[in-house]
Amino acid sequence: MSTPVLRHTPERDSARARPGNETTRNLIGNGMLALLRHPGQLQRLRDDPRLLEPAVDEVLRYDSPVQLDGRVVREDVEMGGKRLRAGQKVIALIGAANRDPEAFENPEALDILRKEKSHLSFGRGIHYRLGTSLAVLEARVAFRGLLDRFASIRLAVEPSYRDGIVLRGVESLWIEVERARRPAEI
Ligand code: HEM
């Protein structure tokens, strides 16, 4: 996907056609869901808020808000044992690349302390997503806010996913919470 011999296809149903909103919602929803399904990781994050940055990176890898992206081959090239010809369209499966066992140790595991950081959830190359900092900041604020405000958070209802193969995100995320005691109340 990072190779210079590929360029973008202008699909309407892409992260570029609808930048920002749905993708960031998916990051927060998918990310929170991943953490709720891994209570040990959630607790680790609760214990050490400095892990917020790697945690957001890891949930982006683990359940990518954008699952695929298109490219057009610029010149004939061999890639992954396949001959690609100039002008052919290819689809880069971001979700699969983010679980590549050659790039990530134990890729199916959610590990907020993971050393490898090279996920492709924001794309690669000259089209590398422009709103990275904003989306990451929004997710950090959301996770931090939930953890600060609630002493416990559990999944209340098994979520369903919105239709579509490009963007992946839950319809809604219902949680059960217990309010945290404010310092003044202790
Ligand atoms: C979690 C949130 C987001 C994710 C996962 C995401 C993902 C992506 C991906 C995969 C691409 C294609 C990049 C490529 O082909 O190499 C893209 C393009 C783009 N995104 Fe996002 N995005 C997110 C949020 C945002 C936000 C908040 C903005 C704007 C404020 C934004 C603006 C754009 C733009 C303008 C492009 C087109 C870039 C170009 O074609 O040169 N995105 N995004």
| Entry field: residues in the chain | 186
Minimum-distance ligand 1 atom for the alpha carbon of 125: 16
Q: Are 111 and 51 in contact (CB under 8 A)?
A: no
Q: What is the pTM of this model?
A: 0.87
CA angle 14, 15, 17 (to 5 degrees): 65
The answer to whether residue 114 sits within a structural domain is yes
Residue 116's domain spans which residues? 6-185
User: What CATH number has the domain bearing residue 167?
Assistant: 1.10.630.10
Instruction: Give me ligand 1 centre to Cα 52, in Å.
Output: 21
Q: Which two tokens stand for residue 86?
A: 């100039």
The answer to whether residue 113 sits within a structural domain is yes
In the prediction, which pLDDT does 4 show?
Answer: 38
Distance CA 87, CA 73 (A): 5
pLDDT digits (tens, 9 = 90+) for 101-138: 999 999 999 999 999 888 999 988 777 777 889 999 99
Which residues form ligand 1's pocket by a CB distance below 6 Å? 8, 15-16, 19-20, 23-24, 27, 65-66, 69, 121-125, 127-131, 134-135
The answer to whether residue 1 sits within a structural domain is no
Minimum-distance ligand 1 atom for the alpha carbon of 94: 10
pLDDT digits (tens, 9 = 90+) for 157-168: 999 999 999 999
Split into its structural domains, the chain has a count of 1
The answer to whether residue 176 sits within a structural domain is yes
The answer to whether residue 104 sits within a structural domain is yes
Q: Are 166 and 14 in contact (CB under 8 A)?
A: yes
